[in-house]
């Protein structure tokens, strides 16, 4: 079944669903692994699902119209970004490529900001201001990295970038893009909002920040949005630098079949899992930056790497 | 400490100075002399007001105010743990007319202590900028730390008088 | 523990969700709070039952009052309780909130906490050990199963009387009634 210009309706339904499952699985996995690092038994891996069921059954307290709309806006924003991201070989919306993703990624924090601003909790306001400062911190290197990648592959289409990687090898392994890859890996904790960049939702400092006034179904939406956000951050890294669905030409014999799509998703998931677990270890052992330290760090090393990477790419070309 | 004792006895009248322990001095003085002795000791290097406390001597009908000062440095040299000195200054004021002058001009950190004493003992400190409640939410007829405050009677009258929800429901429906 | 029985999950997801995802807000009034860190960290690990501390009352569904309650701290307790979304459960920890404990004749400690907010369960002892918290949690599971942990419903129905008790203690409260005009009968 397909609509006019090659948009597959199954992909539009399946892609966000798989992203949601992977995101929530990552939340549960994070709690379990961190518990094991603490020498605890830890919650069951389905704990986020239980939490979300519990939150939906609790009565949410609304603070006004904008409060309701903001969280929906942020959730919608995250779902739309996922439609633009290749998930294995599935990519429901491909026009616009990286520029569209970059533009739409701003919707999610904006929605949360609207919502928390309406709640008028001082902790939420501090959290929101920190969120935007942190975004300002990692957007600069992120733009430089994307510019380097786009210059190197001479295209803005993410699908095209992944396809070229499947023939020429991963960009993380290619010499010109190595520095950009390292820079992206360094800012990935900031994008995911985990330690050492857990300044936004710091429960001990500012009562979980933007989430401070969310209860009931609003908190459930916020948790789902968080799961999707984690998915977006990691899958962008996997698509840009780890070759997306490509794995040493393993899918060559079964190209253009349903199996290639399914195995593409599985390979993609395994790559994401490895990146996520490495990030989790960083999260488990590091303390938290203060916001000005975080921004100073982000504007120093990752930006430096990204800038040199861009110059290298231009010179090599 | 002995030289300090001599110095104090020579420069103040109506004063009793005891050395209760090594490095600890207890001064008992009439209430007029408090301001002068505190500023005298502050100049000597006893710059830290550790506590203001109060004892209720109900038989003698008097409050005893206790000021505790200590010194940590002498001539820019820090004392070791054994050399640290403290001075306890005691004075008595009347219980009926519980009024005294504030010592904020000498030690600024006396402000919360005096507020606390005002709240718990009902001593009025003249010249204190804000004698507002510090800890307590309710108003007490007799300040609660005075010896003639009957806590058991108070608890019976206030907290035990509040009925449980079932009792209140029964009372209002009949 | 029936956390893995899928049949029950499909039958009553809300009840099971509340049982195995207790997000706790601790009200650290007295000495009781020293028993909380061991119970949520490595030694006793409350998280394996889905019990984690949260930072704000909006996200919580269990309210644990650990220690004596003075007249001044009762006000934040009432406000925190009223900010939590329904359904919510309360547990009084230690003997002080039950009947005053060692502060039974203190001039500034309210003796019976359940005169001011509804309490679903008590943990007796001075101090109860962390194991007692887990026993309390298993009891709370039974109560939730039998729908007997209905303090929040009781508060809504008898709000008039709770408010009257609060006002008898304070004289006048600064905040308006939570359920305006919703009386029983």
A-chain residues within 8 Å CB-CB of C13? 53, 57
Instruction: Answer yes or no: is pLDDT of A6 > 60.
Output: no
Q: How far is CA A302 from CA A102, A284, C164, in A?
A: 18, 21, 61
Instruction: Render pLDDT for B74-110 as a digit per residue (tens, 0 to 9).
Output: 666 667 767 777 888 888 888 888 888 888 888 888 8
Distance of CA A13 to the CA centre of its chain: 19
CATH number, domain with residue C115? 3.40.50.12280
Q: Which domains does chain B have, with CATH numbers?
A: 2-134 (3.30.460.80), 138-174 (no CATH)
- Contact residues for A20 (Cβ-Cβ < 8 A; gap 6+): A224, A227, A228, A231
Among C13, C18, C85, beta carbon nearest to A215: C85
pLDDT at site C185? 42
pLDDT at site C184? 45
Decide if A292 contacts A298 (C-beta within 8 A). no
Q: How many domains does chain A have?
A: 1
d(CA C86, CA B42): 59
CB contact under 8 Å between C168 and B162, yes or no, is: yes
Q: Look at strands A7-8 and B24-29 and give their pairing.
A: unpaired
Are B and C close enough to touch, i.e. 3+ CB pairs under 8 angstroms?
A: yes
Q: How far is CA C61 from CA B3, C37, C122, C152, in A?
A: 66, 19, 16, 11
Percentage helix, strand, coil for chain A under 3-state DSSP, each rounded to 5 = 75, 0, 25
DSSP B41-77: HHHTT--EEEEEEEEEETTTTEEEEEEEEEE-EETTE
Instruction: Look at chain B and count its residues.
Output: 174
- pLDDT more than 90, % of chain A: 11
C39 domain residue, yes or no? yes
d(CA B87, CA B85): 7
Peptide bond into A196 cis (omega under 30): yes
Instruction: Answer yes or no: is pLDDT of A203 > 80.
Output: no
* Residue C54 sits at the chain A interface (C-beta within 8 Å): yes
Domain range enclosing A157: 3-316
Instruction: Answer yes or no: is pLDDT of A25 > 90.
Output: yes
The model's confidence at residue A24, banded by pLDDT at 50, 70 and 90, is very high
Average pLDDT, chain A: 85
Specify the range with the lowest mean pLDDT, choosing from A218-227, B11-20, B44-53, C35-44.
Answer: B11-20
| Shortest CA gap C115–chain A (Å) | 25
pLDDT at site A59? 85
pLDDT at site A48? 92
* Residue C59 sits at the chain A interface (C-beta within 8 Å): yes
- pLDDT more than 70, % of chain A: 96
Say what the ipTM of the complex is. 0.86
Instruction: Answer yes or no: is pLDDT of A286 > 60.
Output: yes
Q: How many domains does chain C have?
A: 1
Instruction: Answer yes or no: is pLDDT of A5 > 60.
Output: no
Phi-psi label, residue C45: left if phi above 0, alpha if psi -120 to 50, beta otherwise: left
Max Cα distance, chain C (Å): 53
pLDDT at site B122? 85
C5 domain residue, yes or no? no
CB contact under 8 Å between B135 and C158, yes or no, is: no
Instruction: Answer yes or no: is pLDDT of A28 > 60.
Output: yes
C100 domain residue, yes or no? yes
C182: DSSP letter: -
The model's confidence at residue A249, banded by pLDDT at 50, 70 and 90, is low
pLDDT at site C3? 80
* Residue C168 sits at the chain B interface (C-beta within 8 Å): yes
CB contact under 8 Å between A60 and C85, yes or no, is: yes
Domain range enclosing C156: 21-184
pLDDT < 70 positions in chain C: 181-185
Q: Which partners does chain B have (≥3 C-beta pairs < 8 Å)?
A: C
Instruction: Answer yes or no: is pLDDT of B141 > 70.
Output: yes
Instruction: Answer yes or no: is pLDDT of A141 > 80.
Output: yes
pLDDT at site A4? 44
pLDDT at site C181? 59
Among C107, C154, C162, beta carbon nearest to B154: C107
Instruction: Render pLDDT for C76-91 as a digit per residue (tens, 0 to 9).
Output: 999 899 888 888 999 9
Specify the range with the lowest mean pLDDT, choosing from A110-114, A143-147, A243-247, C40-44.
Answer: A243-247
Instruction: Render pLDDT for A258-279 as a digit per residue (tens, 0 to 9).
Output: 777 888 888 888 989 999 999 8
As a whole number, mean pLDDT of residues A227-256 equals 81
């Amino acid at each position: 079944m397909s609509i006019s210009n090659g948009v597959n309706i199954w992909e539009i339904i399946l892609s966000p669903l798989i992203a949601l499952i992977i995101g929530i699985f990552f939340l549960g996995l994070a709690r379990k692994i961190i518990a094991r690092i603490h020498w605890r038994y830890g919650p069951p891996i389905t704990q986020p699902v239980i939490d979300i069921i519990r939150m939906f059954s609790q009565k949410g307290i609304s603070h006004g119209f904008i409060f309701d709309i903001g969280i929906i806006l942020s959730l919608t924003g995250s779902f739309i970004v996922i439609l633009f991201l290749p998930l294995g070989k599935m990519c429901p919306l491909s026009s616009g490529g990286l520029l569209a993703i970059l533009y739409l990624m701003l919707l999610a924090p904006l929605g949360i900001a609207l919502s928390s601003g309406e709640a008028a909790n001082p902790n939420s306001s501090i959290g929101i201001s920190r969120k935007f400062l942190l975004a300002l911190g990692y957007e600069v290197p992120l733009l430089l990295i994307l510019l380097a990648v786009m210059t190197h592959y001479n295209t803005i289409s993410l699908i095209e970038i992944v396809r070229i990687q499947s023939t020429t090898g991963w960009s993380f392994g290619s010499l010109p893009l190595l520095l950009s890859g390292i820079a992206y890996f360094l800012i990935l904790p900031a994008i995911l909002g985990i330690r050492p960049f857990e300044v936004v939702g710091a429960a001990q400092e500012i009562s979980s920040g933007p989430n401070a006034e969310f209860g009931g179904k609003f908190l459930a939406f916020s948790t789902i949005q968080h799961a999707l956000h984690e998915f977006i951050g990691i899958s962008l890294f996997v698509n840009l630098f780890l070759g997306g669905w490509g794995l040493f030409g393993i899918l060559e014999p079964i190209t253009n079949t349903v199996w290639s799509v399914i195995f593409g998703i599985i390979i993609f998931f395994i790559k994401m899992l490895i990146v996520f677990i490495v990030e989790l270890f960083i999260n488990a052992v590091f303390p938290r930056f203060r916001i000005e330290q975080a921004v100073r760090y982000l504007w120093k090393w990752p930006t430096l790497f990204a800038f040199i990477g861009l110059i290298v790419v231009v010179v090599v070309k | 400490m002995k030289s300090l004792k001599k110095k104090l006895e020579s420069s103040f009248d109506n004063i009793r100075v005891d050395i209760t322990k090594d490095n600890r001095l207890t001064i008992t003085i009439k209430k007029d002399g408090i301001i002068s002795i505190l500023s005298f000791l502050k100049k000597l290097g006893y710059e830290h007001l550790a506590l203001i406390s109060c004892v209720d001597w109900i038989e003698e009908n008097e409050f005893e105010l206790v000021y505790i000062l200590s010194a940590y440095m002498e001539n820019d040299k820090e004392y070791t743990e054994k050399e640290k000195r403290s001075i306890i200054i005691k004075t008595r004021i009347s219980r009926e007319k519980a009024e005294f002058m504030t010592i904020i001009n000498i030690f600024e950190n006396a402000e919360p202590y005096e507020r606390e004493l005002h709240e718990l003992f009902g001593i009025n400190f003249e010249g204190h900028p804000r004698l507002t409640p510090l800890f307590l939410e309710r108003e007490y007829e007799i300040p609660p730390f005075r010896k003639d405050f009957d806590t058991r009677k108070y608890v019976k009258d206030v907290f035990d008088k509040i009925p449980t929800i079932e009792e209140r429901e029964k009372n209002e429906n009949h | 523990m029936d956390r893995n029985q899928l049949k029950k999950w499909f039958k009553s997801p809300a009840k099971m969700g509340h049982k195995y995802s207790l997000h706790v807000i601790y009200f650290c009034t007295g000495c009781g709070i020293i028993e909380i860190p061991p119970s949520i960290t490595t030694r006793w690990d409350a998280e394996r039952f889905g019990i984690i501390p949260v930072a704000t009352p909006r996200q919580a569904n269990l309210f644990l009052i650990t220690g004596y309650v003075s007249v001044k701290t009762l006000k934040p307790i009432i406000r925190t309780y009223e900010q939590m979304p329904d359904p919510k459960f309360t547990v009084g920890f230690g003997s002080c909130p039950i009947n005053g404990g060692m502060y039974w004749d203190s001039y500034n400690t309210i003796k019976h906490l359940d005169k001011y907010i509804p309490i679903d369960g008590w943990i007796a002892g001075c101090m109860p050990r962390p194991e007692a918290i887990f026993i309390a949690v298993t009891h709370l599971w039974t109560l939730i199963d039998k729908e007997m942990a209905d303090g929040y419903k009781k508060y809504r129905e008898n709000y008039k009387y709770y408010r009257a008790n609060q006002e008898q203690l304070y004289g006048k409260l600064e905040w308006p009634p939570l359920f305006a005009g919703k009386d029983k009968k």
